Amino acid sequence: MMEITEGSHAVADAVRLCRPQVISAYPITPQTHIVEALADMVANCQLDAEYMTVENELSALSACIGASAAGSRTYSATTSQGLALMFEVCFNAAGMRLPIVMSIANRALGAPLSIWNDQQDSISLRDAGWLQFYAEDNQEATDLHYLAYRVAEDHSVLLPAFVCFDGFILSHTYEPINMLSQEDVDRFLPKFSPYERLDAADPISFGMYATPDYYHEFRYEMDRALKESKAIIYKRGKEFGQMFGRDYSAMVEGYRLEDADTAIVAMGSICGTTKDAIDEMRDEGKKVGLLKIRVFRPFPTEEVAKALSHVHRIAVLDKNISLGAKGAVALEVKDALYGSGIPVKGYIIGLGGRDVRKKDIKAIVALVEKGQGDMFYGLRREVL
Amino acid sequence: MRELRIHGRGGQGSVTAAELIAVAAFEGGVFAQAFPAFGVERRGAPVQAFVRFDDKTIRKRSQVYEPDYIIVQDSTLIKDVNVFQGVKKGGIVIVNTEKKPDYKVPEGVKLITIDATTIALNAIGLPITNTSLMGAFAAASGEIKFSALENALNHRFPKELAVKNIEAARQAYNIIKGAA
């Protein structure tokens, strides 16, 4: 049913429909309305879950780890410095192979303090072993939660997942969303069936120490599971499409890309504005297209290389910066296109809430056409 | 696509106004998008909120720079903030004031003034002007039906508060309709 609602409330509703059994979150800034709405749902008996309020984000994810190891479907949400505080246990959750799903309303990291959007927070945890989904709009932000649980809990995957959606730009925006019903979600997402669980009657341990004889192989297994999750994303994304008409089987999605000379690669809500800019450039006769990255981990290297094999130049937009190197998406795209001879240029854009307009996208296309890139776009030189 | 920019001060309900206008527009079968320009949130600081209206899915996420409509909740903002910046020719500006304007809107733009503060004080008992201005916006723009606005207010507020706010919106709506 179509309804108009705020992004974070829509996400809270989607999470409710996933029937999490344990939710733990730190409710104070940086946080969104998601966990506030979920707390209301639990208090009002609209959601039968254990809601654990804790003293900080580190404890929130730690509580989720315990609950997930005990065999329950668990959920948390955070952003920015809150995610940074979880750094240590993010690695534990993945290493223990616990399919926790966490919403990240992407925001910048301090210092300097910024409450605004970019994607530095989740990108900075790209190596933690979590799946990372990025939403273009609030429809995707809700749908990707169903997909995230379905894929994460698959016994061939068993890894936690971030569902990332841009803070404020999506989390605080009202727009129409087609919400699924409980029956719909129950059809798509079966009950969590843990592969192993903590059980007093049959004790096992999670997250024990591994000597040099074993650690190397543990990491290999995680990497293999993450890479093999591509097939599960494809399968379940397709199934979702067959059920509800929105197909998420593709980890990357082209827009007017088939005959494009110049390709823009982007991730998250910036894709919407980019599509509008592309339509206008197309009207002016410029052959520009977009490749949207919906899944950043596992990174769809082969899919990116295939989708971009025919273009003459590529401009990658990054709302993050691996300081001292490049934007994280540009690095991946350069790797994917290595040896193809197609020039790939990266543009750091929209950090800390700097607004991105259609004219900025057009300016970047003009830059890549001149071969200029691998730069911060739109620097205010007067304040440097 | 038509775009609305609301200028107010923190605590005046600009974000709520944007949300409820979007909800009312959606009821009328329009694709609507509402979002705030978040700043450092504090009472009295200048804030902005935005609404877009279109017949098809809205993909654009940037802020509103060339609005078709502007609402100014507090006319004292006019000397501090360039509230009329970018307004389109043929656009409508609604300013809450009891005074005769001593400022000019750009050429080809229609200026509507309304004493939303007095309306709000009478109907609600508080100088919360956003609902009166929503009524004025409905009448001036035709983007939303009054009945849809009524539904949105009923849905958002507890009954007693909703009744008062609907009354404020109705008074403003009737004043603008009457003047047209």
- The answer to whether the Cβ–Cβ distance between B38 and A175 falls below 8 Å is no
Q: What is the dihedral of CA A110, A114, A119, A124, to 10 degrees?
A: 10
Q: What is the dihedral of CA A316, A319, A320, A321, to 10 degrees?
A: 50
Give the up-direction half-sphere exposure of residue A276: CA atoms within 13 A in the CB hemisphere: 17
CB pairs under 8 A between A and B: 63
Q: Do A41 and A23 meet the contact criterion of CB atoms below 8 Å apart? A: no
Nearest to A73, CA basis, from A182, A189, A179, A166: A189
- Give start and end residues of each alpha helix (H) in chain A: 7-17, 33-43, 57-69, 80-85, 87-95, 120-123, 138-152, 182-188, 215-244, 270-283, 301-307, 328-336, 358-369
- Given this model, what pLDDT does residue A62 score? 98
The amino acid that residue A135 corresponds to is A
Strands of the sheet containing A375-376, edge to edge, are: A252-255, A288-293, A262-266, A313-318, A344-348, A375-376
- Residues in A whose CB is inside 8 Å of some CB of B read 4, 6, 115-116, 137, 166, 168-170, 172-176, 269-273, 275-276, 353, 355-358
CA distance B180 to B167: 20
- Given this model, what pLDDT does residue A356 score? 98
> What's the gap in Å between the CA of A275 and the closest CA on chain B?
7
pLDDT digits (tens, 9 = 90+) for B84-101: 999 999 999 999 999 999
Higher pLDDT, A135 or B102: A135
What A49-53 contacts at long range (C-beta under 8 Å, 24+ apart), as own/partner pairs, is A49/A19, A49/A20, A49/A21, A49/A22, A49/A23, A50/A21, A50/A22, A50/A23, A51/A23, A51/A24, A52/A22, A52/A23, A52/A24, A53/A24, A53/A25, A53/A26, A53/A27
Band of the pLDDT at B63, cuts 50, 70, 90? very high
Nearest to B131, CA basis, from B153, B148, B159: B153
> What's the gap in Å between the CA of B66 and the closest CA on chain A?
12
Tell me how far the alpha carbon of residue A341 is from its chain's centroid.
29
- Given this model, what pLDDT does residue A144 score? 98
What A238-246 contacts at long range (C-beta under 8 Å, 24+ apart), as own/partner pairs, is A239/A188, A240/A143, A240/A146, A240/A147, A240/A150, A240/A188, A243/A184, A243/A187, A243/A188, A244/A143, A244/A178, A244/A180, A244/A184, A244/A188, A246/A139, A246/A143, A246/A178
CA distance A122 to A84: 9
| Confidence check: pLDDT of B41 > 80 | no
- Given this model, what pLDDT does residue B44 score? 87
CA distance A294 to A279: 21
> What's the gap in Å between the CA of A32 and the closest CA on chain B?
13
Q: Output the six-digit token pair for A317.
A: 């937009």
> What's the gap in Å between the CA of A337 and the closest CA on chain B?
28
> Going along A147-200, which residue ranges are E strands?
161-166, 174-178
Nearest to B30, CA basis, from B5, B56, B4, B10: B56
Q: Do B33 and B59 meet the contact criterion of CB atoms below 8 Å apart? A: no
Q: Do A351 and A319 meet the contact criterion of CB atoms below 8 Å apart? A: yes
Q: Output the six-digit token pair for A336.
A: 């994917």
Band of the pLDDT at B180, cuts 50, 70, 90? low
Q: Please state the φ and ψ torsions of residue A5, each to the nearest 5 degrees.
A: -155, 165
CA distance A307 to A119: 24
Task: List CB contacts (< 8 A) between A137 and chain B.
Answer: 59
The helix/strand/coil state of A382 is helix
Q: Do A124 and A85 meet the contact criterion of CB atoms below 8 Å apart? A: no
Domains of chain A: residue spans and CATH: 2-244 (3.40.50.970), 252-383 (3.40.50.920)
ipTM exceeding 0.90, yes/no: yes
The helix/strand/coil state of A112 is coil
Task: List CB contacts (< 8 A) between B22 and chain A.
Answer: 4, 174-175
Q: Whose structure tokens read 């320009």?
A: B37
Residues forming a β-bridge with A3:
A177
Question: A4, A140, A168, A278: best mutation site toward chain B, by most B Cβ within 10 Å?
Answer: A4
- Give start and end residues of each alpha helix (H) in B60-158: 116-123, 130-141, 146-156
Q: Do A171 and A48 meet the contact criterion of CB atoms below 8 Å apart? A: no
Q: Which residues lie closer than 8 Å to A322 by C-beta, 6 or more apart? A: A123, A328, A331
In order along chain A (384 residues), what is the average pLDDT of each group of 10 residues? 96 98 93 95 98 96 98 98 98 98 98 96 98 98 98 98 98 97 98 96 94 97 98 98 98 98 98 98 98 98 98 98 98 98 98 98 98 98 96
Nearest CB among A137, A173, A272 relative to B35 is that of A173
- Given this model, what pLDDT does residue A375 score? 98
- Given this model, what pLDDT does residue B43 score? 84
| Confidence check: pLDDT of B40 > 70 | no
Band of the pLDDT at B39, cuts 50, 70, 90? confident
Nearest CB among B23, B33, B59 relative to A276 is that of B59
Q: Whose structure tokens read 């009166």?
A: B132
pLDDT digits (tens, 9 = 90+) for A281-331: 999 999 999 999 999 999 999 999 999 999 999 999 999 999 999 999 999
pLDDT digits (tens, 9 = 90+) for A139-196: 999 999 999 999 999 999 999 999 999 999 999 999 999 999 999 999 999 999 999 9
Record: fold of B2-179: Pyruvate-ferredoxin Oxidoreductase; domain 3 (3.40.920)
For A71: left if phi > 0, alpha if psi spans -120 to 50, otherwise beta; the answer is: left
- Given this model, what pLDDT does residue B163 score? 98
Q: Whose structure tokens read 């209206």?
A: B53
Band of the pLDDT at B179, cuts 50, 70, 90? confident
Q: What is the average pLDDT score of chain A? A: 97
Q: Whose structure tokens read 């890894």?
A: A159
Residues forming a β-bridge with B71:
B6, B94
